[in-house]
Structures are given as structure tokens and as C-alpha cells.
Amino acid sequence: MKINIKKGICILMTACCTLFVAAETVTAASSWPKGPKIEGEYAIVMELESGTVLYEKNAHTQLYPASITKIMTALLALENSKMEEKVTFSYDSVHKTEGSGIWRDVDEVMTMEQCLYALMLNSANECAYAIAEHVGESLEDFVAMMNERAAALGCKNTHFNNPHGLTDEQHYTSCYDMALISREAFKNDAFRQLTATKRYEIPPTNKHPNEITYLKNHQKMLFSDETYYYEYCVGGKPGYTEAADHTLVTYAEKDGMTLVCVVMKEDKSNDFEDSIKLLNECFAKFSIYNIEESLGEDLQPKLPKSDFLSVQSFVDLDKENKIVLPIKADFADVERKLIINEDPADKDTVGYLQYSYADHIVGTVDIRRTGAVIQQYPFGKQQPIPVEEQEPKKVVRVSMLTVVLIILGVLLVAAAGFGIYKFSDNFYLIRYKFKTRRGRNAGEGIISQKRWKRRRRR
């Protein structure tokens, strides 16, 4: 009997739906923690590993991002170029940008690494333009890449129109979308190093042969001598234009949990103060948990098994996933929902389990194919052996002459055997006749001898 993988997956889905979707819904006994009172009107805090939103305030409103745009520019550059590549500054990159920069000249050459540090630390607008032309071959092509990447990340309220964030009516995003972009960027090792670097030096270039360019990170929360120093800060990016006002992305790590805080359209200094308030509150009221270790066996998905077929033989759960819960939460109040993967391009993920608490999604666990081969039973049809695994067949080549000689040899042997058979029959017949005649002659001799003896007695 042949086991069909699709049928097996259907069995899995039916089982999971029975266990999770049809299960009695549990109402969380506790409500979601309220955040602190902040001055700004637009903010979000997201846990990076699970993607759980811990706090939000008007997080989906479209706003001008200013220079936090450069996080997307840096991400695309890291994904589509190498640090040692040479970047040449064009006339447009130098003369069609304004505001913050490091004052490069036309035809000046720097490495991509140097451009990225100038981009992230000093918020250099001409470097953003030069990076875009280098990676996208044109500014327009790079902007198209930015929007495609944003859409792929799930951004619904974002449209980029330049790589630096200078005010443009067609250039906007939201706190939530910016958190998604920032979360993706932080997955990149080189980006984490960029955003956490406090100072950097660009050596002399072809246009500045005797000058070292000194860079300092504008994220004030990194520096212990700054008013807004925050000991758990590991990077970020501030921005400002008159239209956007102050915007700020901050990364922070504490007790194994990494958060990103995004605030937009803030008054001066409120961006840092609000960010610190939000981060402190979230670190104090939430904890991150490994699903396998923390939820217990009673809350782990149990798939049906049998001696004949076990659906767990070809699917398994990603046990490394984590969830974020309020520190006072009861694990028994965590709800689970099965989501079937409808993306045909993702052939490894069957679906995922979505965990929620107090109407907030707190994490997911992927259900992945293991690649296991289902056992064939003796009464089943044997699968054909792949051609590459078959043993080579031995081929014996015989000429026509050889075939004819073999046939003649067989005929001769047969004829000889037939002759011997006939000869033996004649031989036994002749022998029999000879013995019979001899016996008859011997009998006549005895009779004659007896007659002769009688005559002599007379």
C-alpha cells in the first residue's frame, strides 16, 4: 500500500484542528498591561524574536519618517553588496541632497563599509544617495527595491520615495511598519555592529588625501556621558525634519529579551524620554519564554499516533520559538490557533500554531516537514529503485556466427545420440540371436552324445 504525503498532511491538519481550533476557548483572567503615559502620540514597542507588540499608540498612522528611513537603506545595501566594494559619489548625490552629511565631493571614492558607517552614525544624506545609486544602479531602481522589501515584510502604510528620508509627500511610513523593518534589519549581523558602534574613522580619500573623517553615533542613549544614556541600549537611529519632527528607533536588550521602540512626530527631547519610559515599562512587566520549556507538556501539541501511520514521522514543531507574556500571566490562559500555510513558495512549512493571551498575539510555532520517508509495508507495492541507484546490468554480446555454430553443435550431438540409441538396439538384437543359435546348437550336441553312448552299450 502506498502512503500519500498529502493525505498524511491532511491527517495532521485534521488532528491539529480537532485539538486546537475546536478546543474550548479560554478567556484570559488578566488583562494586558497598560503602558506608561508618554508625551508623544505615536509609538510602538515590539519584542524582536517573537514579533510580539507589547505597547502601541496610534501605531498604524502614516507619518513622515525622516532619517529612520536609512535603516531600510542600510538593510538593502547589506543584502545586495559587499563591504569592500568601491562607491563613487555622483554629481546628483552631492548636489541633490541637503541637511546632515559628511561633505563629500563629486567623484570621491569610499568603500561601502565607510558609506554605511557615515549613513548610520552621522546620518549622511549624500552617502544614502550614493549607496542607492551603487546598489540599485539608479535612484529610481533603489526606491523600487525599498518598496518591494517593505511590502514583503508586511508593511501596509509605507511608501518610500528616497533613500535618506528628506521630506516628500510620497515618502511615509508608520510606527508599526518601521518596527517591522527595524526588526528585519536587526537580524543582520553587520547591521547590529553598525548600529551599536559609537565612533568610527574614515581614512583619507582621493578627494581628501590629508583628512580623516571622524564619525559619532547620533543615538544619545549609547553614551554614558549623555543626559539620555540608557544602559540597555544597543543601537538605533534618530531622525529629524521640520515636517516629520523628531523620530527615533531604539534597540535595547535585557534579561534575554530584545526590544525595539519606535516613536514618531515627537517634540524635542521627548523622543528619548518617551523611549526610555516605554522600554523600562516593558522590561518590568514582560518576560520571554521558550515554548517547549515553559508551557509544559499539557500545553504542547499532541498529534495522534498509531502503529500503522504516525503523522509525526514527517512533520515536527520548531521548538526554538519563543513567546512573550506579562510576568503575572497564567500559562493556562494561553490560547492556541492553527494557521495553515498558504504560501506555495514555502515548501518546508506546513503551517504554524499561533499563541495569544488577552487578545494579543504573543508568539508562533512553525510546523515544518522533517523530510522523513514513510515506511512501506510488505503488502504494499514496491517503489521503483531510482535509476542512479540501480546496479549496472551486465551485457553479453554474441555474434551470429557463434549462434550458428552453437546450433550446429547441438544438432550433431543430438544426431550422435540418436545413432548410438539405434545401434544399441541392433546390438542387443544381434546378441540375442547369437545366444539363441548357440544354445540351440549346444542342445543338438548333447542329444547326439547320448545317442552315441547307447550305441556303445549295445
* Nearest CA-CA partner of 74 in 195, 169, 171: 195
Identify whether the C-beta of residue 151 lies closer than 8 Å to the C-beta of residue 160. Answer: no
C-beta atoms surrounding 253 within 10 Å? 14
Q: CA–CA separation, 430 vs 196, rounded Å?
A: 120
* Dihedral angle, C-alpha 54, 57, 60, 66, nearest 10 °: -100
* Dihedral angle, C-alpha 112, 117, 123, 129, nearest 10 °: 0
Identify whether the C-beta of residue 12 lies closer than 8 Å to the C-beta of residue 311. Answer: yes
The backbone region for 363, taken as left when phi is positive above 0, alpha when psi lies in -120 to 50, beta otherwise, is left
> Which residues are designated catalytic?
67, 70, 123
* Nearest CA-CA partner of 47 in 311, 394, 325: 325
Q: CA–CA separation, 265 vs 238, rounded Å?
A: 12
DSSP β-ladder status, 315-317 and 257-266: unpaired
CA angle (299 as vertex; 296, 304 as ends), nearest 5: 115
* Class of residue 152 by CB neighbours under 10 A (exposed 0-12, middle 13-18, buried 19+): exposed
* Nearest CA-CA partner of 87 in 43, 137, 47, 42: 137
* Nearest CA-CA partner of 252 in 228, 224, 222: 222
For 327-365, b/e burial (b = at least 16 CB within 10 A) is: eebeeeebbbbbeebeeeeeeeebbbbbbbbbebbbbbb
State the DSSP code for 172. B
